[in-house]
Structure 1
């Protein structure tokens, strides 16, 4: 048996084939003990199938699942130190909240049921609701009951399958912070499956972006957002402007690219291609615009001859579409700080961005990958 110190969840060459397609293809993954890990991707990418194999609800076609040294690949669900929280909560409607949470302990005839249930209700801030039935609670409260019922069994890994999908936007946002707080307090490994990019970025320490049964890229939310390695990740996680260019070559710690008549520089550690054609990527909030001839606070790639084709005011920011001289429309998001007014449609503008914010992708990848799904 492994020591308590090494209880990482290790998935190796995990594959799941159904009659007509392969849902998960030779997946390798290590989820460090005590971390909050998200599997993010569109419907049908294999994330829920992966979760179900870890839970023991689906049998892998091949590959292995270990918790530390413990091989749980073909272990029955109830024999695994793993619990799952589903989107529909699956609470017992005839039992009150207290008894819902106590259910697993009573079944195992655990000692000190009352103390453990009281502690768990305090953790999820539902002490005052203990004697209510699930239908009397809001969706967010029911979700917290489902969490408490799973956590009281002290699983080593808690699996969350689209746990906030049934909640409205405002409640979802507060529950994201709530679940993150609970995870930090209990220190267990949480594996969270979601198609919601904001949810994954708010809650997880590490995100694995899945697409068509494989992991496209894995890293911290900042890393994936700032330096996507594929067009799918660039488009699925937030929005990106991708502009065709020809790679000139590396000069010191930058890669130079000929892009529609302008030579742009990309930091070498953000260049995921080194020769031939490439996609120059820049996030919309990093694109700066100003009425033609006015200064832009961005030393670097400066382009003229563009004009505003669309303006959307969304409260915290204004989102512009800007048609470039070569015909492509770029997105530019500007914070509404009040420093200047909104630039009207039709205004001639100059466009710029700081070179250190750009990234470079291989042109053999589909420029639209990830857009439909997001």
Structure 2
């Protein structure tokens, strides 16, 4: 069931800027192109400017500078009700005295559609609400109410559907189920979804493309896989999951083209990083590695990885988490690294606290960032 027939095109934000009268800059020089028919997420901590951006697209906030286009149409200063945009908020804002079907048909009737019954029926089927049509909102669960709000927005056939933390009021289990539902619905209707969230898992589960925002600016944009595996700033490295960041100094380069690598001295151990994962020209760097890519073995035993080994680590804590174990490793230079190890049963038990271990990782999983960036950026925002 495609609702995207006649859609105008990509959503383009060009040089978007929002400054409030008190001088606070919420959004600064934001450039985004959101392809028509994609599921796009604006991700970041509270106060990063993501909701303000959404409200400017919806027409609920004035633009200080810059433009907003949908296809060739400039909607920068258009009235909210004249924009081909609908918004689903966290609180749903359903009419309590109307049935579910009446809530959904409110938009078409307001637009002068004389008999929207079939359209309402189709939208209720799409959102799996057919059996709830005669009920009132108070009789539905939180997840069902969220779907009603979604159905009420979709029936208006907007070019762009804006989702402002729509799952925030749901419990964890229901929220995860609704993430899959939202993605299914978006793929079926073919509309552009722009989803604002502070939840990293939510953004990565649903979105084709994620834009990470911090202090009103765009930190990095890309697919969930690219952002997670190859972050370009310490903020992205820490905000999306966890990262071990180890100080190092570039000592040389080898190879060329796709085979080019950078050599880094980390406290006497030489690490190798692919040139495509190097995001600085500085000699002083952070070597980044995700905890699940870190491998450990009791000191002196073989590690199944071709990377450089770091010797002299000691397990300071082993936290059993069912599917995995989180190891805290105290390195010889005093830094604590984290290792996530899947509990496949291969090891035969936990590595206990106090055990001396060797540490390694495959070189293609490491990334390199400028050491002038704050190693704690993004961590306090979790």
Counterpart for residue 360 of structure 1 = 368
Taking structure 2 as the reference length, what is the TM-score of the superposition?
0.96
Specify every segment of 5 or more residues in structure 2 that has no aligned partner in the other structure, as ranges.
Answer: none
Map Cα deviations across residues 267-309 of structure 1 (whole Å, 9 max, x no partner).
0000011332000000000000011122111111111111100
Counterpart secondary structure, 1:159: strand
4+ long deviations beyond 4 Å = 3-6
Query: Alpha carbons of 1:180 and 1:20: their partners in 2 closer, same or farther (altered >3 Å)?
Result: same
Counterpart for residue 298 of structure 2 = 291
Counterpart CA distance in 2 for 1:209 and 1:249 is: 32
Map Cα deviations across residues 23-62 of structure 1 (whole Å, 9 max, x no partner).
0001110000000000000000000000000000000111
Counterpart secondary structure, 1:23: strand
Counterpart CA distance in 2 for 1:324 and 1:208 is: 34
Counterpart for residue 14 of structure 1 = 16
Tell me whether 1:31 sits opposite 2:38 in the alignment: no
Residue 247 of structure 1, CA deviation: 1.1
Map Cα deviations across residues 197-229 of structure 1 (whole Å, 9 max, x no partner).
000000000000000000000000000000000
Counterpart CA distance in 2 for 1:6 and 1:255 is: 45
Residue 4 of structure 1, CA deviation: 4.8
Selected match of 1:240 from 233, 238, 243: 243
Counterpart secondary structure, 1:95: coil
Contact 1:249/1:275 (CA < 8 Å) preserved in 2?
no
Contact 1:322/1:329 (CA < 8 Å) preserved in 2?
yes
Taking structure 1 as the reference length, what is the TM-score of the superposition?
0.98
1:136-155 matches, within 5 Å, as 136-155=139-158
For the aligned residues, what is the CA RMSD? Answer: 1.1
Which deviates more from structure 2 when the two are superposed, residues 171-180 or residues 245-254?
A: 245-254
Counterpart CA distance in 1 for 2:307 and 2:68 is: 48
Counterpart for residue 94 of structure 1 = 97
Which deviates more from structure 2 when the two are superposed, residues 174-183 or residues 100-109?
A: 100-109
1:210-359 matches, within 5 Å, as 210-252=213-255, 253-340=260-347, 341-359=349-367
Selected match of 1:202 from 202, 205, 211: 205
Counterpart for residue 127 of structure 2 = 124
Residue 111 of structure 1, CA deviation: 3.9
Map Cα deviations across residues 149-198 of structure 1 (whole Å, 9 max, x no partner).
00000000000000100100000000000000000000000000000000
Contact 2:212/2:221 (CA < 8 Å) preserved in 1?
yes
Map Cα deviations across residues 241-264 of structure 1 (whole Å, 9 max, x no partner).
000001113212101111111010
Tell me whether 1:51 sits opposite 2:58 in the alignment: no
Counterpart for residue 81 of structure 2 = 78
Specify every segment of 5 or more residues in structure 1 that has no aligned partner in the other structure, as ranges.
Answer: none
Counterpart CA distance in 1 for 2:324 and 2:31 is: 40
Contact 2:8/2:159 (CA < 8 Å) preserved in 1?
no
Counterpart CA distance in 1 for 2:8 and 2:173 is: 38
